[in-house]
Amino acid sequence: MTAGVGRNVILSWGGAGIAGVKEKTLTLNNEPIDITSDDDAGWRNILAIPGQKQVEIKVSGVTKDRGLMANWFSSALTQAVVLTYENGATIAGTFFLSEYSDKGNFKDAVAFDATLMSTGVIVYTAGV
């Protein structure tokens, strides 16, 4: 695998890009099922399958439009998302806009942060 440039990781929300994005963070989470019992002599034992799988995408950047804020206020909270990497790998599925914030620091551009949480099955397609 070769190194890549973060700006070449493309995120689409509802079929379109999100204006002003500078950072994208992907978190994959398997919620464990603890099956520890007295038989395990005090050692934790976790079932080999997760109780719940979750994908979370956090984005932040310079506020160039208020599209995500408008989605939040209009309750258009669930959209198709595709995250595409330089090598063609994709992560695709439906995501829920769980959090949005705008921040305006003195002598700086207005910036935003948003959190997108998976809902339903998420599909990973390997790249080349």
Return the closest-CA partner of residue 4 out of 60, 83, 85.
Answer: 85
What are the backbone dihedrals phi and psi of residue 6, each rounded to the nearest 5 degrees, phi first?
-55, -35
Q: What are the structure tokens assigned to 77, written together?
A: 């909270």
Domains of the chain (ranges; CATH) run: 6-125 (2.30.110.20)
Q: Which residues contact 38 (CB under 8 A, 6 or more apart)?
A: none
Q: What integer pLDDT is reported at residue 7 of this predicted model?
A: 86
What are the helix (H) ranges across the chain?
A: 67-73
What pTM value is reported for the model?
Answer: 0.88
Give the type of residue at 21: V
pLDDT digits (tens, 9 = 90+) for 89-120: 999 999 999 999 999 888 888 999 999 999 99
pLDDT digits (tens, 9 = 90+) for 59-72: 999 999 888 999 99
